[in-house]
């Protein structure tokens, strides 16, 4: 066959129990298992075309032809699939990122999950969703979890084949997430370098690994019991512990800005004064994400916008797992991107 095509959409996810540190950098094997919530508001659509006529891989992101460095990352990832089935055609990969720049969530999670599903579809590779998540992992750890919707666990596993994600719960029980976009600047310390430095130098790192395992077991209980307060408290504590490991790295660093701390204080204030259920978490950047009740999201947004008038507040509900798109849906996606996001350059 000269040409084969796959198109897929994957949503981003926010870890409630964080992935922070690799035990094998080549295979992207994590030091600890993690658990996330997939979000419906942010996603990546990706089309992959393999063709015998192509003489090299190309990568077009948001309408912009990418440079060699970006193409290399994609090529290495495509190689995993090409080697798996003995494929030798090059590919053109085109992606549209439906993530508001201000959200600072332009995460690799939705990108590699969408690319994994689109590639497996194009090459007609028959893999279970869980097995596909272990392929996605080799592009970026957090993308493992974006193959599924709702609450998702990434089991650290014992080797490359069993380090994969599985769905835990659809999160269809009054769950929401509010993103406080405090800063859209690119992060100063990439998560990959940040986690490596932390593993190598933080004297608190061992405690992180040990307690992350306890937090994971406890949060799975909270989800099974649909105990929102317990879920929220564990989320907030685990996130803070992750950030404590960066402060104790050598040299020390932090993803927080002064604005992050202001946003955190506002969340605490609203929780204490209005009694709304709101628990925060942060990733490798300054934005604050607030786990809340979907039914209280409007009220929470109102209260927070009074305290933080200069920050954009973006609402999200739990999202679905990755899915295939038709050519028609891809065309619609292009039109929507042009209307809502706009091409760069
Ligand atoms: C997470 N983060 O669990 C954690 C919490 C950031 C903080 O996964 O090196 O882009 O590509 O595997 O997945 C961000 O790191 O890192 C991340 P790589 P990734 O969501």
Give residue-wise pLDDT tens across range 107-147: 799 999 999 999 999 999 999 999 999 999 999 999 999 99
Q: Among residues of the chain, what percentage have pLDDT more than 90?
A: 92
Closest atom of ligand 1 to 28 CA is 12
Contact 254, 310 (CB under 8 A): no
Taking the model in full, what pTM does it have?
0.96
Span(s) in the chain for CATH 3.30.70.890: 176-316
The CA distance from 177 to 175, in Å, is 7
CATH for the stretch 3-171+324-340: 3.30.230.10
Rounded to the nearest integer, the mean pLDDT of the chain is: 95
- pLDDT per position as a tens digit, 209-255: 999 999 999 999 999 999 999 999 999 999 999 999 999 999 999 99
Asked whether 9 lines ligand 1 (CB < 6 A), one says no
> Residue 316: CB partners within 8 Å, gap ≥ 6?
39, 40, 41, 42, 176, 177, 178, 179
d(CA 157, CA 143): 16
Go through 230-267 and write b for each residue having 16 or more CB atoms within 10 A of its CB, e for each that does not.
Answer: ebbebbbbbbebbbebbebbeeeebbbbebbebbbebb
133 lines ligand 1 (CB under 6 A): no
pLDDT band of 187, cuts 50, 70, 90: low
Query: pLDDT tens-digit profile of 286-331?
Result: 999 999 999 999 999 999 999 999 999 999 999 999 999 999 999 9
**What's the CATH number for 176-316?**
3.30.70.890
Please indicate whether residue 133 or residue 190 has the higher confidence score (pLDDT).
133
At 100, list the tokens: 């508001």
From the list 284, 285, 343, the residue with the least C-alpha distance to 97 is 343
**pLDDT confidence of residue 107:** 73
- Average pLDDT, integer, range 15-22: 98
pLDDT in tens, 75-85: 999 999 999 99
- pLDDT band for 345, please (50, 70, 90 cuts): very low
Confidence band, pLDDT 50/70/90 cuts, at residue 183: confident
What's the 147 CA to ligand 1 centre distance in angstroms? 15
> Which residue owns the Cα nearest ligand 1 atom 11?
140
Helix (H, G, I), strand (E, B) or coil at 315: strand
- On the 0-12 / 13-18 / 19+ scale of CB atoms within 10 A, 287 is buried
Query: How many whole angstroms from 335 Cα to the centroid of ligand 1?
Result: 30
CA of 141 to the centre of ligand 1 (A): 6
The segment(s) of the chain belonging to CATH 3.30.230.10 are: 3-171+324-340
């Amino acid at each position: 066959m000269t040409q084969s095509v796959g198109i897929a959409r994957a949503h981003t996810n926010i870890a409630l129990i964080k992935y922070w540190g690799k035990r094998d950098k080549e295979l992207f094997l994590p030091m600890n298992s993690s658990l996330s919530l997939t979000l419906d508001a942010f996603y990546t659509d990706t089309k992959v075309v393999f063709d015998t006529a192509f003489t090299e891989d190309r990568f077009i992101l948001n309408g912009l032809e990418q440079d060699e460095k970006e193409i290399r990352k994609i090529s290495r990832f495509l190689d995993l699939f090409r080697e798996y089935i003995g494929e030798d055609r090059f590919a053109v990969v085109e992606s549209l990122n439906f993530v508001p720049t201000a959200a600072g969530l332009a995460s690799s999670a939705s990108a590699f999950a969408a690319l994994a599903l689109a590639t497996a579809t194009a090459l007609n590779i028959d893999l279970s969703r869980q097995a596909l998540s272990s392929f996605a992992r080799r592009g970026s750890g957090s993308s493992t979890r974006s193959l599924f919707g709702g609450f998702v666990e990434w089991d650290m596993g014992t080797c490359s084949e069993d380090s994969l994600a599985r769905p835990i719960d659809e999160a269809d029980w009054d769950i929401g997430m509010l993103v406080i976009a405090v800063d859209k600047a690119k992060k100063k310390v990439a998560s990959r370098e940040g986690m490596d430095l932390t593993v190598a130098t933080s004297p608190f790192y061992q405690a992180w690994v040990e307690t992350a395992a306890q937090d994971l077991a406890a949060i799975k209980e909270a989800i099974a019991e649909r105990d929102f307060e317990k879920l929220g408290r564990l989320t907030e504590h685990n996130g803070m512990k992750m950030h404590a490991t960066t402060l104790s790295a050598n040299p020390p660093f932090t993803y927080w800005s002064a604005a992050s701390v202001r946003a955190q204080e506002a969340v605490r204030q609203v929780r204490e004064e209005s009694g709304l259920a709101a628990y925060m978490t942060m990733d490798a950047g300054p934005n604050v994400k607030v786990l809340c009740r979907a039914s209280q999201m409007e009220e929470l947004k109102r209260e927070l916008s009074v305290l933080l008038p200069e920050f954009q507040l973006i609402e999200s509900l739990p999202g679905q797992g990755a899915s295939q798109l038709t050519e028609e849906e891809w065309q619609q996606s292009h039109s929507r991107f042009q209307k809502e996001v706009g091409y760069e350059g």
